[in-house]
Amino acid sequence: MILPMLGLLAILLWVARQAVGPLIGQETRGWLVLWCRRLVRRASRSLPEDQGGSFQEDWLAELAELEERPLSALVYAIGLARAARRISAEMGLARPPHGYPSLARLFDLSAAAAYLLLLAPAILAVAIAVKVDAPGPILARRRRLGLHGRPFEILTFRTHRGIEGDGLPPTRLPRPTRVGFLLTRLSLDQIPSLFNVLRGELALIGPPPQVPDLRGESLAVRPGVICWSTLREWGGADIDESEARRRDCARGACNDLRLMISLFLFTLRGGGPR
């Protein structure tokens, strides 16, 4: 019963494609080209006035060469958004005018909120465990430097006895609590940093936040909970230190997506924090 129906459907589709296909093909091609030109204009608009016009002419000219191959033209035009972002970054413009940072922020915010909701019972349990196990506050606050060197307090579950505010290497090593030891092993102590993400001090993915006394130059990207350097330490990324550092400081959705995919695959393979 199904088979002949599928066959009929296939025949109908084929007929439709033969009849309407060339017509649509032509139309679509035209629209695609117009769309590409629009993308080019949008990309060059994000560059400074005098330069933007020159880039626009250059890129439209190149696009004209690609109009015979609409798919290549599309890939070309889409890539130009990235080109414009990087060029304006090189020109030293303070922030890129379009979307990605706010999109990333939206993503971080929603993901952090979702995680917190999901983990709420676990968070409660851990909080009780920490409180019961050793006297002292549930959360440890440490001073860190975030975006553009702005200081903030990163929140983690308290895992040691007698640690004070600021996270500088203490002279006398505080002893870990029993619960604290478990939390560190399972990496659960980092969970409260999701609150920092909600507050905008941290992102989900980014370079590690800087310790105040040891800082180098201030961060141009929001520091994150997960970064390539961490993944590399866990053995999930086959790159060396300088490459990890470079990727950490690179902004861009592709970079972050790559990290998420690597992290996901790594977790599937049974990897985890060491």
The residue ranges that bind another protein (CB under 8 A) are: 55, 57-62, 64-66, 75-77, 79-83, 86-87, 90, 242
Give whichever of 178 and 246 is closer to another protein, judged by the CB atom. 246
| DSSP secondary structure, the chain, as one string | -HHHHHHHHHHHHHHHHHHHHHHHHHHHHHHHHHHHHHHHHHHHHTS-HHHHHHHHHHHHHHHHHHTTSHHHHHHHHHHHHHHHHHHHHHTT-SS-SSSHHHHHHHHHHHHHHHHHHHHHHHHHHHHHHHHHHSSS-SEEEEEEE-BTT-EEEEEEE--BTT--TT-SPPSSPPPBPHHHHHHHHHTGGGTTHHHHHHTTS-EEESSPPBPGGG--SPBSS--EEE-HHHHHHHT-----HHHHHHHHH---HHHHHHHHHHHHHHHHTT----
Give whichever of 19 and 75 is closer to another protein, judged by the CB atom. 75
The least distance separating another protein from the CB of residue 39, rounded to whole angstroms, comes to: 11
The least distance separating another protein from the CB of residue 58, rounded to whole angstroms, comes to: 5
At 91, list the tokens: 């020109």
The least distance separating another protein from the CB of residue 233, rounded to whole angstroms, comes to: 21
The least distance separating another protein from the CB of residue 99, rounded to whole angstroms, comes to: 15
The least distance separating another protein from the CB of residue 245, rounded to whole angstroms, comes to: 13
Give whichever of 77 and 126 is closer to another protein, judged by the CB atom. 77
| DSSP secondary structure, 63-103, as one string | HHHHTTSHHHHHHHHHHHHHHHHHHHHHTT-SS-SSSHHHH
The least distance separating another protein from the CB of residue 84, rounded to whole angstroms, comes to: 8
From residue 160, how far is each of 140, 167, 172, 174, 175 by CA, in Å? 9, 12, 12, 6, 5
Give whichever of 153 and 243 is closer to another protein, judged by the CB atom. 243
Give whichever of 62 and 166 is closer to another protein, judged by the CB atom. 62
Give whichever of 183 and 244 is closer to another protein, judged by the CB atom. 244
Give whichever of 86 and 185 is closer to another protein, judged by the CB atom. 86
The least distance separating another protein from the CB of residue 265, rounded to whole angstroms, comes to: 23
